[in-house]
Structure 1
């Protein structure tokens, strides 16, 4: 499933996984979020509700471009650097391009939608 992420006037695209958690995330769209820096590794934002983690692995080792859900906090994470294995992290999908935009410091306004909406 394709999504668009409009960040500061630039449109990025991403592909969601075919998982229960990713489908639950897609059901929230469209979303307007404020992405904030976290650990110089990712941009994060709270989601309006917790997502299902049914069938999800215990954790993942995120790579550059991963969109993920951090179940313990209930937030979206978009990684602009590789990171170590993290328990409670569930991969939602992958940016198709444009990860460098997420390396800009500070908060970024983003609107995430299903492609074609």
Structure 2
């Protein structure tokens, strides 16, 4: 499963894992949704429906990790290394355009 994020002229591609949470995110696409800055290492967005974390692997977030922070219900795109945190689950990894994660803003389009 691959997803593409479009923001202006930026295109980022993530390869999703086979977790239930990743499959549920994939099932909600396509989306047009607002992306927000969080801290100095990540971009976040809130999918319309919270994701199930059953059998989802915990994240050890690095540059390019796509994750789900269950306590807040947001999807996180890391553009700097982070590590792990309670409630942070890996959804996949960036495979194209990873260097541009930090440059996306406003409303983004997420497609299958």
| 1:59-110: CA deviation from partner (whole Å, max 9, x where unpaired) | 32201111111100001100000002111111111111212222238x3321
Q: TM-score, normalised by structure 1?
A: 0.87
Unmatched tracts of structure 2, length 5 or more: none
For the 8 Å contact 2:35–2:45, the answer to whether it is kept is yes
Unmatched tracts of structure 1, length 5 or more: none
Q: Does 1:39 align with 2:20?
A: no
Post-superposition, which runs of at least 4 consecutive aligned residues in structure 1 deviate over 3 A? none
Q: Distance in 2 between matches of 1:65 and 1:84?
A: 12
Q: Distance in 1 between matches of 2:66 and 2:37?
A: 14
1:67 is aligned to 66
Q: TM-score, normalised by structure 2?
A: 0.91
Q: Does 1:22 align with 2:27?
A: no
How well do the aligned residues superpose, as a CA RMSD in angstroms?
1.5
